[in-house]
Chains A and B, each alone.
Chain A
Amino acid sequence: MTHSNGANLFDNLRLELRRGCLVVAVLAALRTEQYGYTLRKALAEHGMAIDEGTLYPLLRRLESQGLLFSEWREEEKRNKRFYRLSHEGKVILKQLLAEWQSLNASLKEIF
């Protein structure tokens, strides 16, 4: 395996690994209301950088699944869409966190 192939493979696998975690991270971050840009910055500050092309479609999907609420509001003279976790979202986040902890424990045992 060449170095660049190995790097590509790692990038792809890392992307796959992070994909599921991103949903949990977004749901957890939206326990407090935020709009897209601040949410993205908050996630990046915690080491979960996500580009706008991934975040906004994900937010729409989660909203259509009833896990988030959103509303347009004016802030600093600009219209912004604010998101927050719904009741159903809170329940699902709790379940997902429990699942994640269980996975983590299993992985630790395997290692």
Chain B
Amino acid sequence: MELLDRYLHAVKFWLPKAQRQDIIAELSEDIRSQIEEKESGLGRKLNDAEVAAMLKQLGRPVVVASRYLPQQHLIGPVLFPVYKFVLKIVMLCYLVPWILTWIALMIYDPAYRAAHSGRALLDTVRSSWAAFWFTMCLAVGAVTIVFVVLERAQAKSDFLDNWDPRKLPPVRDPNRIARGASIFEIVTNVVVTTWLVEATWSPLIFDRFGIRITLAPVWRPFLGAIVLISLANLAFSAVNLARPYWTSSRAGLRLAVDILGSGVFAWLCKAHIVAEFTASGLSAAEIAETTNAINLWIVKMFPYAIGVGVIVLAFDLYRIIRLKRAATPSSGSMAARVLPTSASG
């Protein structure tokens, strides 16, 4: 019976202290009864291999012990779908902009590309990979801890039962353009563009308190481009206001305008647009140094400009894909059938 004793000892290890003796005594009695019955049937003692086969059929000690334990979980089945959804959002918000910005920098920034090619690229990938996993683990860990706390809280309270169906969010048509958003775009475009033209028409954009800021001649073509893009956006918002549904052609046009806008904005960051920054009491060398520092600071904004541009373009692309999917009858999408997809326009 040495094998049986070893088996019972292994089961005992996983059992709660208070019930250990009781459970083992009962389990032992059952197994011994089974062995006795088999032995009386065979008319001889069971050998080790037969006992081992019987114990194997009973199950691994930890599995047998687990059946006596209360069901335990960090995050239960009620909160788990929400937990999974939040994790997906966290990963999407972190991973996608991270990769897209890096790709955009590699494509559009020759200096970045030169600094990260060949062996340097391998080093960058290696260090980025480590940083990526570290941040990812932190994010996943933080979300998990929050949900473990929520799980404990919901087990003790009844906040999941206290809800009102009338407070559920309305069904939203993703292809409908909110009129408020179109009006906001029109007003913002008019105000910002008017202010920009007014404030930067003359190269000397600031002349007060002994401080003078002069823009470089390269600013003028930018201003022209910004005004043109702004006019395009104005026309766009006016059409959206009149016909508030996205169509494939309008989504394509939006993408084109946003590509142009992002390009101009990124170009602006690298163009050294400040010609001179002077302040009373500064020497010529200090003026040149300050002007250069401001321009370099603007250049440093380039990766962020690329990042913002990439996020905007990703949204535009997603809109086009969504419209195409909705327009494809074979997609079988319930949303495509239930929700109005597009109006004329």
User: How does the 8 Å CB contact mask read for B12-52 relative to A, with 1 for contact and 0 for none?
Assistant: 00000001000101110111111000000000000000000
A78 is an interface residue with CB less than 8 A from chain B: yes
- Please measure, in the bound complex, the distance between the C-alpha atom of A78 and the C-alpha atom of B68, giving whole angstroms: 23
Interface readout for B41-74 with A: 1 if CB under 8 Å, 0 if not? 0000000000000000011000110011000000
Asked if B68 and A37 make an inter-chain contact with CB atoms under 8 angstroms apart, the answer reads no
A-side contacts of B58, CB under 8 Å: 51-53
A30-57 residues at the B interface, CB under 8 angstroms: 35-37, 40, 51-54, 56-57
Q: Report B340 CB to chain A, min CB distance, Å.
A: 37
Give chain A residues whose Cβ lies under 8 Å from the Cβ of B27: 52, 56
Q: Which residues of B contact A52 (CB under 8 A)?
A: 27, 30-31, 58
Chain B positions within 8 Å of A40 at CB level:
30
Closest beta carbon of chain B to A95's beta carbon, Å: 25
Known: A37-B33, A37-B34, A78-B32. A56 touches B26 (CB 8 A): yes
Majority SS at the chain B contact face: helix
Number of CB contacts from chain A to chain B under 8 A: 40
Instruction: Closest B residue to A81 by CB, please name it.
Output: B26
Q: Is the CB of A57 within 8 A of B33?
A: no
Q: Check B29 against A36 for contact (C-beta < 8 Å).
A: yes
Q: Is A79 an interface residue (CB 8 A)?
A: yes
Determine the distance from Cα of A52 to Cα of B19 in the docked complex, in whole angstroms. Answer: 17
Report how far A111 CA is from B29 CA in the complex, Å.
Answer: 45
Q: Does A60 contact B (CB under 8 A)?
A: yes
- What B residues does A81 contact at CB under 8 A? 25-26, 29
Residues of chain A within 8 A (CB-CB) of B63 are 53
Residues of A close to B32: CB separation below 8 A: 78
- Residues of chain A contacted by B26 (CB below 8 angstroms): 36, 56, 81
Residues on A with C-beta less than 8 A from B19 are 60
Q: Which B residues fall within an 8 A CB radius of A? A: 19, 23, 25-27, 29-34, 58-59, 63-64, 67-68
Q: State the A residues within 8 Å of B (CB).
A: 35-37, 40, 51-54, 56-57, 60, 72, 78-81
Q: Pull 15 A–B residue pairs with CB atoms less than 8 Å apart, ordered by A.
A: A36-B29, A36-B30, A37-B33, A40-B30, A52-B27, A52-B30, A52-B58, A53-B59, A54-B67, A56-B26, A57-B68, A60-B23, A60-B68, A80-B29, A81-B25
